Amino acid sequence: MSYGLVAIAILWTFLFGYLIVASIDFGAGFFSFYSALTGHENKIHNIIQRYLSPVWEVTNVFLIFFVVGLVGFFPDAAFYYGTALLVPGSLATVLLAIRGAYYAYNTYGSSKENNKIYMALYGATGLLIPAALSTVLAISEGGIIYLADGKVQLDWNNFFTNPYTWSVIVLALVSVLYISAMFLSYYANRAGDEVAFGVVRGYALIWSGPTILFSFFAFLTLNRQNPEHFEAMLDISWMFIASFLCFLFAVYGVWKRRWLGLSFIMVMLQFAFAWYGYGRSHLPYVLYNYINIHESVTNDTMAITMITAFVLGLCVLIPSLILLMRLFLFDANYILGKSGKKG
Amino acid sequence: MSTLDPVLMSRVLTGLTLFVHIVLATIGVGIPVMLALAEWRGIHTGDGHYTLLARRWARGYVITVAVGVVTGTAIGLQLSLLWPTFMRVAGKAIALPLFLETFAFFVEAIFLGIYLYTWDRFKSKYTHLLLLIPVAIGASFSAIFITSMNAFMNQPQGFELVGGVFTNVNPFVAMFNPATPTKVSHVLASAYTTSAAALASIAAYSLLRGNKHTYFKKALKLTVISTFVFAVATVMIGDFSGKFLAKYQPEKLAAMEWHFETMKEAPLIYGGVLDENRDIKYALKIPYALSILAGNRPDTEVIGLNEFPEDEQPPLMIHYFFDLKVTNGVLLVVIPLLYMFRKWLPGKKAYPKWLLIGILALGPMALVAIWLGWFLAEIGRQPWILRGYMKVADAATTSPNVGWMLLLFILLYLVLSVSAIRVLTKLFRNKNAEEELAMLGLNSKGGSGQ
């Protein structure tokens, strides 16, 4: 395996990690706000808060890790994406900033249990951020970033009139709500909170339909945007079929109110198959026609050093993450709200 | 806005983001150490006051960490958004520290989350205290890695530049460049100083408002003595930094000191103004001091600014940054010293008002020193982004929209700063320390509660 392939596999995995944890986080923020609007807040708010509080900081790191890793392994990516994405990148940063800060204000700083304005900011940005970030996927397919007089430019017109752009955005939105509701169903069930479970189970089932629908739609519109990539996807179509089967199992489980832990694992597998299938068929390009993993990868010494650093880093990270999950995800007393009030 | 120079706008925006982030990052590095100190004292002596102190600090700390995370995210992304050409070239040499920094931060984030939600959860109180070790290590190592990257930009090495491309890269040589030891240690020591000083300011403020409880006096003692210890270390490392500059970056030292002619027995200039002929007026001149600063001997030869071509000379205003920073540094040693000898001071009061006001000023002074130190370091290496290799003007984005983004971020930082300050003040007002002490049954003078 070439260094480029190892590097992109590492980065893609981190982005997948971000996809899952951030979806839970973004969706939960939105549900929390929505339930406050509709007067259901006491039903699901506590469950959401108990899960989110200890992990919110970790979510952000996954994204930073990806960005830093991408720039480190593929410095050309910094040049092309950096120049072209100044405006959307800055907007996404501002949204992330507002969301992070106001979450902390509401959770740790507010005297009232729920400050409506803080919650609104938190909920709304939770949907805008995935929409903003997902546009990078559309841009990576090519045809939107171009070079003119040696300067990197972004073709806004092509970007906004492109059906693929919009199908990716909508897919990101509905997936966030779906993944989050599926996770919260599992979490509420573990906590033995029947009322919350009823509410989030409803959300999960409602959002499952649009998720699979827009997955198909994104798949079809890709054909128009980048036929080469589309062909490559057809070659590994088994991955997408596997993804669909996982989806069916997960929704069936939640529908039957059974095997909720397994169902959430199936949700993760559903997205893993789709995500790695999409990523694998995107290769060798990181940005279609401009950056590919063989030519743009950083020098060998740096690649080896960074991969080594990554492996050593994982030796610290994985035990820490397991500890975090054991304390807050799999600890019955904590989930039930019997221990671990903030200091 | 689009006609404005993207290079200048990029510089201003990067500067602004760092200006905001450095406050929070500094506190982020230093407070875990203070938390550990207070909680350890609480457990060790069985004095519940210290434990409460740690709890109350931790509550405020989360807010600053949250805002620090988002401004840190901003600078992380802006590196590529505003300086794409720089990242494309230098990314091949500096990716490692940047990458490692995120690992360190990851560890900090995980254990901070655990720490905040596990008070009273473990049987042994020491278990909870131990959680602070990875938090403090993570925070300090973030600072170490990111500072080594900045050190590289001041003192690039570990590569060859062939036709605009970095070849023969050795990431470790790049990371452990000559600027790294002094920069990293100065950043760490000053972060600990600033955090201790900020907490000392809070304690002094409570006492000035007339809170007489022994809790506040204990807080004052712990924080002021910590400030003293860290400030002395910072000043000593600062002296090493001067010697480093004399050897490796003489143009920065020369601009800092308005030292134009290369000479031995060079005097140190404090304050003053320059006229058009670069003659110094109204300044305090300390004979031999610059030579001693540069090489510990009065006959050390110090290279003057005139040895450098005009377009490679740093701006001369950094002289004022240096003078003010050093003044603040000295006060950060002197005021805690006065506190420690307060019993021998004239007057009858144990805590004279002027002394408390001085301690109240410690936090702001340390913060201003941090800002000035970074202005000095960053403006002092102009016009270079990679000293000796790449000028700032060749590194910035070519996008015409930087001006608008600058406006957007000015607005964001204003909103974040104002709201963070409001939330932090409300947090401490709503749960006032004396009520909490009463609730915990810690109102008696000795206070060995729990």
For residue B125, the model assigns a pLDDT of: 82
pLDDT at B27 over 90: yes
State the angle between helix axes of B402-430 and B6-45 in degrees (0 to 180), rounded to the nearest 10. Answer: 20
Q: How far apart are CA A169 and CA B68, in angstroms?
A: 29
Is there a contact between B113 and A25 (Cβ–Cβ < 8 Å)? no
**Roughly how many angstroms between the first and final C-alpha of chain B, as a whole number?**
61
Q: Which residue of B has its CA nearest to A296?
A: B88
Interval B255-290: pLDDT, tens: 888 888 888 888 888 888 887 778 888 888 888 878
Q: Quote the minimal CA–CA distance from B171 to chain A in Å.
A: 6
Interface test with B, best of A15, A50, A57, A91 (most B CBs within 10 A): A57
- Assess B426–A contact: CB distance below 8 Å, yes or no: yes
For residue A10, the model assigns a pLDDT of: 86
Is there a contact between B385 and B391 (Cβ–Cβ < 8 Å)? yes
- Assess B63–A contact: CB distance below 8 Å, yes or no: yes
The CB density around residue B240, as the number of other CB atoms within 10 Å, is 13
Q: How far apart are CA B198 and CA B262, in angstroms?
A: 41
Per-residue confidence at A1, pLDDT binned at 50, 70, 90?
low
* CA distance to A319, A320, B31, per residue, from B108 (Å): 13, 10, 13
pLDDT at B313 over 80: yes
Q: Between residues 90 and 119 of chain A, which touch chain B (CB distance below 8 Å)? A: 90-94, 96-98, 100-105, 108-111
Nearest Cα to B378, choosing from B193, B230, B187?
Answer: B187
Per-residue confidence at B449, pLDDT binned at 50, 70, 90?
very low
What is the full DSSP assignment across B260-314?
-S-BSSPPEEES-EE-TT--EES-EEETTHHHHHHHSSTT--B--GGGS-GGGPP
pLDDT at B114 over 90: no
Segment B28-33 shows an average pLDDT of 93
Chain A residue numbers with beta carbons less than 8 Å from the beta carbon of B85 are 79
In the three-class reduction of DSSP (H, G, I as helix; E, B as strand; rest coil), residue A286 is classed as: strand
In the three-class reduction of DSSP (H, G, I as helix; E, B as strand; rest coil), residue A148 is classed as: strand
Q: Quote the minimal CA–CA distance from B377 to chain A in Å.
A: 24
Interval A83-103: pLDDT, tens: 888 888 898 889 888 888 887
Q: Quote the minimal CA–CA distance from A62 to chain B in Å.
A: 8
Q: Quote the minimal CA–CA distance from B106 to chain A in Å.
A: 6
* CA distance to A68, A285, B199, B272, B349, per residue, from A290 (Å): 19, 8, 51, 55, 73
Interval B215-264: pLDDT, tens: 888 999 999 999 999 999 999 998 888 888 888 888 888 888 888 888 88
What is the full DSSP assignment across B271-285?
S-EE-TT--EES-EE
Whether residue A61 and residue B109 make contact (CB cut-off 8 A), yes or no, is yes
Whether residue A313 and residue B171 make contact (CB cut-off 8 A), yes or no, is no
pLDDT at B444 over 70: no
- Assess B406–A contact: CB distance below 8 Å, yes or no: no
Which pair of structure tokens corresponds to residue B361?
A: 């000023």
pLDDT at B349 over 90: no
In DSSP terms, which residues pair with B139 in a beta bridge?
A: none
Chain B residue numbers with beta carbons less than 8 Å from the beta carbon of A97 are 70-71, 73-74, 412, 416
Better-scored residue on pLDDT, B103 or B449: B103
Mean pLDDT score of chain B: 86
Tell me what percent of the residues of chain B surpass a pLDDT of 90. 30
Interface test with B, best of A105, A306, A307 (most B CBs within 10 A): A105
Segment B154-165 shows an average pLDDT of 82
Highest-confidence segment of A32-36, A332-336, B196-200: B196-200
Chain A residue numbers with beta carbons less than 8 Å from the beta carbon of B109 are 57-58, 60-61
- Assess B81–A contact: CB distance below 8 Å, yes or no: yes
**Residue B279, Cβ density class (10 Å: 0-12 exposed, 13-18 middle, ≥19 buried):** exposed
Whether residue B73 and residue A100 make contact (CB cut-off 8 A), yes or no, is yes
For residue A113, the model assigns a pLDDT of: 58
Per-residue confidence at B447, pLDDT binned at 50, 70, 90?
very low
Segment B359-371 shows an average pLDDT of 94
Q: How far apart are CA A156 and CA B285, in angstroms?
A: 60
Is there a contact between B211 and B433 (Cβ–Cβ < 8 Å)? yes
Per-residue confidence at B443, pLDDT binned at 50, 70, 90?
low
Nearest Cα to B120, choosing from A342, A125, A51?
Answer: A342
Mean pLDDT score of chain A: 81
Q: How far apart are CA B207 and CA B204, in angstroms?
A: 5
Interface test with A, best of B65, B69, B130, B407 (most A CBs within 10 A): B69
Q: Between residues 119 and 148 of chain B, which touch chain A (CB distance below 8 Å)? A: 119-121, 134
Segment A156-182 shows an average pLDDT of 85
Q: How far apart are CA A299 and CA A73, in angstroms?
A: 9
Q: Between residues 148 and 187 of chain A, which touch chain B (CB distance below 8 Å)? A: 151-152
> How many Cα neighbours within 13 Å face the side chain of B236?
8
pLDDT at B339 over 60: yes
What is the full DSSP assignment across B122-135?
SSSHHHHHHTHHHH
For residue A112, the model assigns a pLDDT of: 57
Is there a contact between B95 and A72 (Cβ–Cβ < 8 Å)? yes
For residue A8, the model assigns a pLDDT of: 85
CA B410 from chain center: how many Å?
Answer: 21
Which pair of structure tokens corresponds to residue B367?
A: 């913060």
Q: Quote the minimal CA–CA distance from B26 to chain A in Å.
A: 18
Tell me what percent of the residues of chain A surpass a pLDDT of 70. 93
Chain A residue numbers with beta carbons less than 8 Å from the beta carbon of B78 are 90, 93
Nearest Cα to B223, choosing from B210, B206, B209?
Answer: B206
Q: Quote the minimal CA–CA distance from A220 to chain B in Å.
A: 32
In DSSP terms, which residues pair with B302 in a beta bridge?
A: B263
Q: Is the dihedral of CA A56, A57, A60, A62 positive or negative?
A: negative
Instruction: Give the closest of A68, A108, A299 to B102, CB-based.
Output: A68
Instruction: Give the closest of B62, B76, B397 to A67, CB-based.
Output: B76
Whether residue B423 and residue A69 make contact (CB cut-off 8 A), yes or no, is no
For residue B199, the model assigns a pLDDT of: 94
Q: Is the dihedral of CA B305, B307, B313, B314 positive or negative?
A: negative
pLDDT at A307 over 90: no
For residue B450, the model assigns a pLDDT of: 36
- Assess A307–B contact: CB distance below 8 Å, yes or no: no
For residue B204, the model assigns a pLDDT of: 92
Interface test with B, best of A11, A71, A308 (most B CBs within 10 A): A71
Could you give the maximum distance between any two Cα atoms of chain B, in Å? 73
Per-residue confidence at A114, pLDDT binned at 50, 70, 90?
low
For residue B2, the model assigns a pLDDT of: 43
Instruction: Give the closest of A57, A110, A306 to B109, CB-based.
Output: A57
**Residue B301, Cβ density class (10 Å: 0-12 exposed, 13-18 middle, ≥19 buried):** middle
Chain A residue numbers with beta carbons less than 8 Å from the beta carbon of B95 are 68, 71-73, 75, 298, 302, 306
- Assess A88–B contact: CB distance below 8 Å, yes or no: no
For residue B445, the model assigns a pLDDT of: 47
Whether residue B99 and residue A152 make contact (CB cut-off 8 A), yes or no, is no
* CA distance to B196, B197, B200, per residue, from B360 (Å): 12, 8, 7
Given the DSSP bridges, would you call strands B384-386 and B390-391 parallel, antiparallel or unpaired?
antiparallel
**Roughly how many angstroms between the first and final C-alpha of chain A, as a whole number?**
49
pLDDT at B37 over 70: yes
Q: Between residues 10 and 39 of chain B, which touch chain A (CB distance below 8 Å)? A: none
- Assess B83–A contact: CB distance below 8 Å, yes or no: yes
DSSP state of B347: S
Segment B341-368 shows an average pLDDT of 85
Q: How many helices (H) and strands (E) does chain B have?
A: 14, 8
Better-scored residue on pLDDT, B59 or A204: B59
For residue B434, the model assigns a pLDDT of: 75
For residue B401, the model assigns a pLDDT of: 83
State the angle between helix axes of A86-104 and A41-73 in degrees (0 to 180), rounded to the nearest 10. Answer: 140
Q: How far apart are CA B393 and CA B395, in angstroms?
A: 6
Chain B residue numbers with beta carbons less than 8 Å from the beta carbon of A310 are 99
Interval A270-289: pLDDT, tens: 888 888 888 888 777 777 77
Q: How far apart are CA B159 and CA B168, in angstroms?
A: 5
The CB density around residue A194, as the number of other CB atoms within 10 Å, is 10
Better-scored residue on pLDDT, B359 or A233: B359
Q: How far apart are CA B52 and CA B58, in angstroms?
A: 10
pLDDT at A55 over 90: no
Q: Between residues 31 and 70 of chain A, which touch chain B (CB distance below 8 Å)? A: 53-58, 60-61, 63-65, 67-69
Chain A residue numbers with beta carbons less than 8 Å from the beta carbon of B166 are 299
Q: Quote the minimal CA–CA distance from A75 to chain B in Å.
A: 5
Better-scored residue on pLDDT, A201 or A53: A201
pLDDT at A40 over 70: no
- Assess B427–A contact: CB distance below 8 Å, yes or no: yes
**Residue A198, Cβ density class (10 Å: 0-12 exposed, 13-18 middle, ≥19 buried):** middle
In DSSP terms, which residues pair with A12 in a beta bridge?
A: none
Q: Which value does ipTM take for this structure?
A: 0.83
Better-scored residue on pLDDT, A216 or B188: B188
CA B117 from chain center: how many Å?
Answer: 28
Torsion of CA A191, A193, A194, A200, to 10 degrees: -90
What is the full DSSP assignment across A75-124?
HHHHHHHHHHTHHHHHHHHHHHHHHHHHHHIIIII-SSS--HHHHHHHHH
**H or E element, residue A127:** helix A116-139
Q: Which residue of B has its CA nearest to A318?
A: B107
For residue B3, the model assigns a pLDDT of: 45
